[in-house]
C-alpha cells in the first residue's frame, strides 16, 4: 500500500511538472502572437478607426469583419465575414467591385464610406476591418500554412516567358507563390481577376481562423503583422478563432455583378448572410454543414485568456509548480518514513553497571591467586592489590515504561495539543490536502474569472 501511494505521488508530480513546462511554452507563444497583432494595429488609418463603432466581445455577440485587398493586384472588391457564436454559424458575403451601394460602385468607395453605407443602406454593422496588401500575399499564405480554394474552371497562367503553371478545376491547394500567380489571371479590373481575388481572400480568412495549435496562432499573427493592417486585437482574433472552430455550418453568399445591392436580389442575399443560422434559403447563398473541431478549450478558459493574456498561462503554471513541489516534498517524507532504522550496537552500560562488573572481575582474580598460592605452599602476597573479596553493589535497572509513570489519554488533552498531535502523526495527509487545496483554488479562480 505504501508503494502504491508513492507511485501515485510520483504520477501527480510528473503530470504537474509537464503541465508547468507546457504552460510556460504557451505563455511565450501567446505573448509573441499578441505582440505581432499589436504591430498590425499601429498602421491602421485613423479615418478607418473612427468609422468603426464600439464592438462587443467576439465571443458574446455576432461580429462582421470587412476584408479588402490593396495594391496593384487588387480589384476593389471585398469580403464580409460574420460569426454567430450562439448558433455555431459562420457566413461569407462576397461583394464584387461592380456592385452598387448607396449609389456608387464599391471599387470607387473608401473603406470608411463603405462601412457607413453598409450600415445605413443594408443593415450590415461592420465591427472590424482587415486590409491585406496583396503584394505580400505570398508571405501571408505561407505564414498561415497555405490555403484551399475551389477553382471553377481550369486555367493556365504564365510564371515566366518560358514557363506556365496549370491550375485544374475543383479543389486546389495553393502555397504562397502559387497564390501570387493565381491572382494574375485576366486583365486588371476584369471580372475574372476580381473573382480570383475574392476566392483567395475568402480562403485566407477561413484558414487563418483555423489554427491547430498556439504555435499556428503565433505564425498567423506574424504573417498578418507583415501583410495586413487591422483593428482586431489579440483578444478579438482569439474569439473569432474559437467561433470559427465551434461552427457547424458555413454560409457562402455573393451579391450580383453590376447591380444595386438595395434592390433586386440584393436584399435577399443580405438577409441570407445576416440569418442567425443556416436555415434561411436565399438565392445567391449556399449553406454547408461542417464538423466542429474535435477538441476546443472551454469558453470560460478562452474568456480568461482574452482578459489576462499570457499572464493567465503564467499563473496556472505557477500553481502547477507549487503542486509539483508539494508532491516532491511528500514523496521525500514517505521515503524517509519507509526506510528501516539503522542497525545499532549493544546498549551502553551505565556507570553503576560498569562498577559492578569491575568488582566482580576483581573477586575472580583474587580467587585465582589464592588457588595458585595454595598449590605452591606459599603465602599469597599481591603487590598493591588486596586479595580480599570485594562486595559489588546491587545493579540498578532503569524503570520500565509501565512502571507507574503518568500517561494521559487523548481525551484529556486540550484542543491545541490535539491539533499538534494530529499534525505530527498525519503529515502525509496534510501534504495531500495542501496539494488538493491548491488545485481546487486554481480551478475556482478560473471559473469565477469567467
Cell numbers standing for residue 441: 483554488
Rounded mean pLDDT of 169-196? 88
The per-residue pLDDT for range 316-338, each reduced to its tens digit, is: 888 888 888 888 887 777 776 65
Distance CA 433, CA 421 (A): 17
Helices (H) and strands (E) in the chain, counts: 14, 13
Cell numbers standing for residue 201: 481572400
Which pLDDT does position 290 carry in this prediction? 81
Query: How many other C-beta atoms can be found within 10 angstroms of the C-beta atom of residue 64?
Result: 21
43-296 classified as CATH 3.40.630.190:
yes
Beta bridge pairs of residue 165: 157
Distance CA 447, CA 441 (A): 10
Residue 185, classed as helix, strand or coil, is coil
Q: Where are the domains of the chain?
A: 1-38+297-337+412-450, 43-296
Q: pTM above 0.85?
A: no
- What's the maximum distance between 2 C-alpha atoms anywhere in the chain? 153
Q: Please name the residue that has the C-alpha cell 602476597.
A: 381
Q: Which residues contact 110 (CB under 8 A, 6 or more apart)?
A: 47
Residue 78 near residue 67 (C-beta atoms within 8 A): yes
Cell numbers standing for residue 34: 499578441
Rounded mean pLDDT of 274-292? 77
Q: Please compute, for residue 255, the number of CA atoms within 13 A of its CA located in the half-sphere on the CB side.
A: 30
Distance CA 309, CA 234 (A): 9
The per-residue pLDDT for range 111-121, each reduced to its tens digit, is: 999 999 999 99
Pairing mode, if any, of strands 128-133 and 63-70?
parallel
Sign of CA pseudo-dihedral 283, 284, 289, 292:
negative
pLDDT above 60 for 219: yes
Average pLDDT value for the chain: 78
Which pLDDT does position 205 carry in this prediction? 87
Q: What percent of the chain has pLDDT over 70?
A: 74
pLDDT above 50 for 94: yes
Give residue 124's pLDDT band: very low, low, confident or very high (50, 70, 90): very high
Judge residue 261's burial from the number of C-beta atoms within 10 Å of its C-beta, 0-12 exposed, 13-18 middle, 19 or more buried: buried
Distance CA 145, CA 174 (A): 9
Cell numbers standing for residue 384: 598493591
Residue 195, classed as helix, strand or coil, is helix
Give residue 369's pLDDT band: very low, low, confident or very high (50, 70, 90): low
Residue of 26, 31, 28 whose CA lies nearest to 213 = 26
pLDDT above 90 for 342: no
Amino acid at each position: 500500500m505504501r508503494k502504491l501511494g508513492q507511485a501515485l505521488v510520483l504520477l501527480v508530480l510528473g503530470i504537474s511538472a509537464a503541465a508547468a513546462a507546457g504552460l510556460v511554452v504557451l505563455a511565450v507563444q501567446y505573448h509573441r502572437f499578441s505582440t505581432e497583432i499589436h504591430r498590425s494595429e499601429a498602421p491602421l488609418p485613423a479615418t478607418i478607426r473612427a468609422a468603426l463603432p464600439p464592438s462587443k466581445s467576439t465571443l458574446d455577440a455576432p461580429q462582421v469583419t470587412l476584408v479588402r485587398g490593396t495594391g496593384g493586384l487588387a480589384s476593389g472588391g471585398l469580403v464580409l465575414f460574420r460569426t454567430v457564436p450562439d448558433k455555431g454559424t459562420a457566413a461569407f458575403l462576397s461583394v464584387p467591385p461592380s456592385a452598387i451601394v448607396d449609389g456608387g460602385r464599391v471599387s470607387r468607395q473608401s473603406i470608411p464610406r463603405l462601412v457607413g453605407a453598409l450600415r445605413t443602406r443594408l443593415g450590415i454593422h461592420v465591427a472590424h476591418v482587415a486590409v491585406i496588401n496583396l503584394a505580400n500575399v505570398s508571405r501571408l499564405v505561407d505564414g498561415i500554412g497555405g490555403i484551399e480554394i475551389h477553382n471553377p474552371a481550369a486555367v493556365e497562367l504564365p510564371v515566366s516567358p518560358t514557363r506556365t503553371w496549370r491550375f485544374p478545376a475543383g479543389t486546389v491547394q495553393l502555397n504562397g507563390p502559387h497564390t501570387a500567380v493565381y491572382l494574375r489571371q485576366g486583365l486588371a479590373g476584369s471580372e475574372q481577376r476580381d473573382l480570383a481575388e475574392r476566392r483567395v481572400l475568402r480562403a485566407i480568412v477561413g484558414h487563418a481562423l483555423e489554427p491547430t495549435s498556439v504555435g499556428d496562432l503565433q505564425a498567423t499573427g506574424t504573417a498578418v503583422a507583415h501583410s495586413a493592417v487591422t483593428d482586431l486585437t489579440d483578444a478579438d482574433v482569439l474569439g473569432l478563432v474559437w467561433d470559427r472552430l465551434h461552427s457547424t455550418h458555413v454560409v457562402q453568399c455573393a451579391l450580383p455583378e453590376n447591380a444595386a445591392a438595395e434592390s433586386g436580389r440584393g436584399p435577399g442575399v443580405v438577409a441570407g448572410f445576416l440569418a442567425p443560422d443556416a436555415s434561411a434559403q436565399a438565392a445567391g447563398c449556399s449553406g454547408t454543414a461542417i464538423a466542429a473541431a474535435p477538441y476546443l478549450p472551454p469558453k470560460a478558459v478562452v474568456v480568461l485568456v482574452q482578459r489576462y493574456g499570457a499572464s493567465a498561462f503564467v499563473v496556472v503554471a505557477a500553481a502547477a509548480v507549487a503542486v509539483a513541489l508539494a508532491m516532491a516534498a511528500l514523496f521525500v517524507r514517505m521515503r524517509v518514513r519507509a526506510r528501516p532504522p539503522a542497525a545499532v550496537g549493544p546498549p551502553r552500560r551505565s556507570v553503576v553497571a560498569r562498577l559492578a562488573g569491575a568488582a566482580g572481575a576483581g573477586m575472580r582474580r583474587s580467587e585465582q591467586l589464592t588457588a595458585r598460592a595454595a598449590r605452591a605452599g606459599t603465602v599469597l602476597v599481591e603487590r598493591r592489590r588486596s586479595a580480599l573479596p570485594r562486595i559489588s553493589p546491587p545493579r540498578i535497572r532503569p524503570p520500565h515504561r509501565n512502571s507507574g509513570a503518568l500517561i494521559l489519554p487523548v481525551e484529556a488533552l486540550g484542543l491545541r495539543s490535539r491539533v499538534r498531535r494530529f499534525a505530527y502523526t498525519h503529515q502525509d495527509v496534510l501534504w495531500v490536502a495542501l496539494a488538493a487545496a491548491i488545485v481546487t483554488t486554481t480551478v475556482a479562480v478560473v471559473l469565477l474569472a469567467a
